[in-house]
């Protein structure tokens, strides 16, 4: 039986690595995308050994046109169809909007909005033609609260996922925004954020976040908010002043 193929961006660590792990365990062949070719190949070796699946590596900088074009070409290749796309690559900045340069803000907007938009646009025609496909966009609880330009970008991801799931779900293409809160990954370390003020109960582990996200996508849900605690926070955020909602999530993903 021919295996489905899953392409995952930002696949060398954190949520991306866990998506690769769980999809490999479920016998998907994999295409791993990230900038660091050495880390990609090391990850691929382990996945091949652990699960007996085929693993391609595609080194690409998704903040550049050339990098996105190379991944888009792989997604659009009719001879090697991709059944699952996980848009996970991303970063945030620790400084407030006015203290970042326009170039820094543009790079963040590029990887959080334009890149996933282009990758979805590349993979969607093939999925629609086959009447089958799964698209998972890693968003954030920040998409529901005032959280600077990062939250604004993630709000696009969440809202577009909802719209796309409505439009393409009836045709066999399920689209889900996975919206975690604070997750134990390298994300905050890379952005240089001091996370000492975040309460222990607010942290999530990668394994249940990914497991719930995959299950919600399989069930056709447009939005997945892992854990009851964050689902409650998002529900309450609709009824509290913006200042209160922003205080809960003003430090990160």
Sequence-distant (6+) residues with CB within 8 A of 21 are 47, 210
Catalytic residue among 43, 150, 221, 230: 150
Active site residue 150: yes
Active site residue 154: yes
Sequence-distant (6+) residues with CB within 8 A of 142 are 150, 151, 154, 249, 252, 253
Per the CB < 8 A criterion, the answer to whether 128 and 171 are in contact is yes
Q: How many CB atoms within 10 Å of residue 125? A: 12
Per-residue CA distances from 163 to 8, 176, 194 (Å)? 22, 10, 35
Per the CB < 8 A criterion, the answer to whether 215 and 138 are in contact is no
- If DSSP states are collapsed to H, E and C, what string results for 41-80? HHHHHHHHHHHCCCEEEEECCCCCHHHHHHHHHHHHCCCC
SS3 state of residue 224: strand
Q: Among all chains, which residue has been given the structure tokens 């074009």?
A: 69
Catalytic residue among 43, 95, 99, 154: 154
> Active-site residue numbers?
150, 154
């Amino acid at each position: 039986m021919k295996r489905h193929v899953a392409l995952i961006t930002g696949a060398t660590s954190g949520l991306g690595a866990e998506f690769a792990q769980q999809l490999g365990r479920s016998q998907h062949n994999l295409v791993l995308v990230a900038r660091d070719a050495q880390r990609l190949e090391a990850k691929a070796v382990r996945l091949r050994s652990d699960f007996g699946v085929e693993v391609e590596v595609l080194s690409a900088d998704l903040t550049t046109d050339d990098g996105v074009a190379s991944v888009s070409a792989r997604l659009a290749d009719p001879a090697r169809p991709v059944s699952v796309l996980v848009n996970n690559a991303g970063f945030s900045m620790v400084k407030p909007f006015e203290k970042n340069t326009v170039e820094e803000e543009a790079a963040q907007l590029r990887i959080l909005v334009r890149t996933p938009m282009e990758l979805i646009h590349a993979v969607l025609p093939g999925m629609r033609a086959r009447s089958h496909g799964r698209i998972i966009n890693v968003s954030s609880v920040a998409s529901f609260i005032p959280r600077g330009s990062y939250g604004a970008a993630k709000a696009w991801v969440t809202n577009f996922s909802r719209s796309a799931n409505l439009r393409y779900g009836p045709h066999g293409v399920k689209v889900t925004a996975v919206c975690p809160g604070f997750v134990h990954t390298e994300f905050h370390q890379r952005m240089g954020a001091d996370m000492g003020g975040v309460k222990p109960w607010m942290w999530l582990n990668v394994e249940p976040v990914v497991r719930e996200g995959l299950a919600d996508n399989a069930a056709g849900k447009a939005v997945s908010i892992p854990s009851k605690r964050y689902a409650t926070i998002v529900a309450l955020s609709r009824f509290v002043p913006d200042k209160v909602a922003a205080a809960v999530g003003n430090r990160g993903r």
